[in-house]
């Protein structure tokens, strides 16, 4: 039974019109700005549209809540040590409020969850994965030499790596943020984990994963490396990371791992049944579009480009089988809604066009490039 607690939603969130909140967010004092941004982010308007649109009726999640507007942030992190087993729940080794426990992976996971939580709260006004303060649980030392990390629908799981191909999976902050962001995308939208919708899901995790890292490092769009999982590949592996958002297809080229298969343009889109229809492959295309938008806008990528993408993934027009072209159009609409018809919209349009997707005033089009088979 679903037992999500419903909060009382205070009517104050209806008082300030969105344009005024945006103005405060852009022109107010830092304190005003933070408050206004949080309020805009928790605006229930678009979620309400989703309910009205009947999509919930078709969704498997029967109960969804409207997030409270005025809430206090409260991180609730728990790290469990599975001690090489693949069986849950393991042993609790660090909870919120406790200092480092001395286990490197556990402490990295704890800090990574904190940085990710802070990003969503302080930048996007989102209170944890579900927008409602969901406690964050990470499990480390999963399996022996296990070389993966995944989100299983309610928790993040990290392996230690085999030491030959991969180091421990908590070593890269953007990987931790990537896994947590899967929870956000899952909570927000109905995207299937398959083909283009799945690749968008993957791309959102890379976008937020990279932004969490950029913010922690204080890197602007120009300074960022735009790599996902830098440091994760072990010594001796020919590669610098799992993926490159800037130059998809260039992250690794190794005799064991093979060559990075990501395309960065629709003409190179890979049609495959493997990898859930290429979710980790074709995500290179929307990844590069985000990189293009962020670098065109300059400055901190999380401030405008990140917000546009976040608003897009929360848009009620996102459906289970959303294609790249649908999403491109939604990002353009989000940019317009947030910033008007200025440089933001132009930057987003140009970025999509650079990867082969043209969004015009009336329609979105993708030229017929044909398809590429994996390994071709």
Partner 1 sequence: MSREHVRIQLSQEGGLAAFPGLARPRSVELSELPTEQAEAIEHGLRDARFRELPAVVGGGGSASKGADQRRYTLTVEEGPRRHSVKLVEPVEDPHLRELLSLVKRATRRRGGGH
Applying CB under 8 A, the residues found at the interface with partner 1 are: 86-87, 143-145, 147-154, 162, 164-165, 169, 175, 178-179, 182, 186, 193, 201-202, 205, 228-229, 242-243, 254-259, 261-262, 274-276, 278, 280-281, 374-375
Active site residue 164: no
The answer for residues whose C-beta is within 8 angstroms of residue 240's C-beta and 6 or more apart is 227, 230, 233, 251, 252
HSE-CB for 184 with a 13 A CA cutoff: 34
Least distance between partner 1 and beta carbon 59 (Å): 13
Least distance between partner 1 and beta carbon 21 (Å): 33
With CA atoms as reference, report the closest residue to 20 among 11, 30, 8, 33.
33
What is the C-alpha separation between 325 and 284, in angstroms, rounded? 14
Least distance between partner 1 and beta carbon 275 (Å): 5
Within 10 angstroms of residue 164's Cβ, the number of other Cβ atoms is 12
Catalytic residue among 108, 141, 178, 179: 179
Strand (E) positions, the chain? 77-81, 91-95, 136-142, 149-151, 156-159, 227-228, 243-244, 253-254, 258-259, 358-359, 364-365
CB 139 within 8 A of CB 155: yes
Query: What six digits make up the tokens of 172?
Result: 């890269």
**How do beta strands 156-159 and 149-151 pair?**
antiparallel
CB nearer partner 1, residue 97 or residue 375? 375
Query: What six digits make up the tokens of 177?
Result: 């943020």
b/e per residue 120-138 (b: at least 16 CB within 10 A): bbebbbbbbbbbbbbebbb
Within 10 angstroms of residue 8's Cβ, the number of other Cβ atoms is 6
Active site residue 86: no
CB nearer partner 1, residue 310 or residue 339? 310
Least distance between partner 1 and beta carbon 56 (Å): 18
Least distance between partner 1 and beta carbon 60 (Å): 10
CB nearer partner 1, residue 242 or residue 313? 242
Least distance between partner 1 and beta carbon 294 (Å): 21
CB nearer partner 1, residue 26 or residue 152? 152
CB nearer partner 1, residue 228 or residue 297? 228
Query: What six digits make up the tokens of 132?
Result: 């409602």
Catalytic residue among 186, 280, 311, 344: 280
Residue 185: phi and psi, rounded to 5, are -60, -40
CB nearer partner 1, residue 176 or residue 293? 176
Catalytic machinery residues:
179, 280
């Amino acid at each position: 039974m679903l037992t999500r607690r419903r909060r009382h939603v205070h009517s104050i969130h209806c008082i300030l019109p969105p344009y005024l909140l945006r103005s405060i967010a852009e022109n107010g004092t830092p304190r005003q700005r933070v408050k206004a941004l949080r309020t805009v982010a928790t605006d229930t308007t678009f979620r309400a549209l989703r309910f009205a649109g009947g999509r919930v009726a078709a969704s498997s999640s029967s109960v969804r809540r409207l997030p409270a507007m005025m809430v206090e942030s409260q991180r609730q992190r728990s790290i469990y040590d599975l001690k090489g087993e693949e069986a849950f729940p393991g042993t609790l080794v660090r909870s919120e409020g406790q200092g480092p426990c001395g286990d490197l992976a556990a402490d990295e996971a704890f800090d990574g969850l904190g940085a990710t939580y802070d990003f969503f709260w302080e930048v996007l006004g989102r209170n944890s994965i579900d927008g409602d303060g969901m406690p964050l649980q990470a499990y480390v030392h999963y399996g022996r030499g296990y070389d993966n990390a995944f989100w299983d629908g309610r928790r993040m799981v990290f392996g230690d790596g085999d030491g030959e191909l991969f180091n421990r999976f908590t070593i890269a902050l953007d990987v931790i943020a990537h896994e947590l962001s899967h929870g956000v995308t899952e909570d927000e939208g109905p995207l299937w984990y398959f083909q283009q919708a799945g690749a968008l899901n993957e791309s959102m995790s890379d976008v937020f994963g990279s932004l969490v890292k950029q913010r922690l490092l204080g890197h602007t769009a120009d300074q960022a490396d735009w790599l996902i999982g830098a440091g994760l590949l072990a010594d001796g592996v020919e590669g610098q990371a799992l993926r490159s958002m800037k130059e998809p297809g260039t992250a690794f080229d190794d005799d064991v791992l093979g060559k990075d298969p990501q395309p960065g343009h629709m003409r190179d889109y890979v049609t495959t049944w493997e990898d859930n229809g290429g979710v980790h492959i074709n995500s290179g295309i929307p990844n590069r579009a985000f990189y293009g938008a962020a670098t065109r806008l300059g400055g901190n990528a999380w401030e405008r480009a990140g917000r546009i993408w976040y608003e897009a993934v929360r848009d009620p027009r996102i459906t289970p089988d959303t294609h790249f072209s649908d999403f491109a159009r939604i990002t353009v609409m989000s940019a317009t809604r947030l910033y008007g018809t200025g440089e933001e919209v132009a930057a987003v349009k140009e970025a999509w066009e650079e990867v082969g997707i043209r969004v015009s005033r009336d329609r979105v089009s993708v030229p017929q490039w044909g398809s590429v088979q994996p390994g071709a």
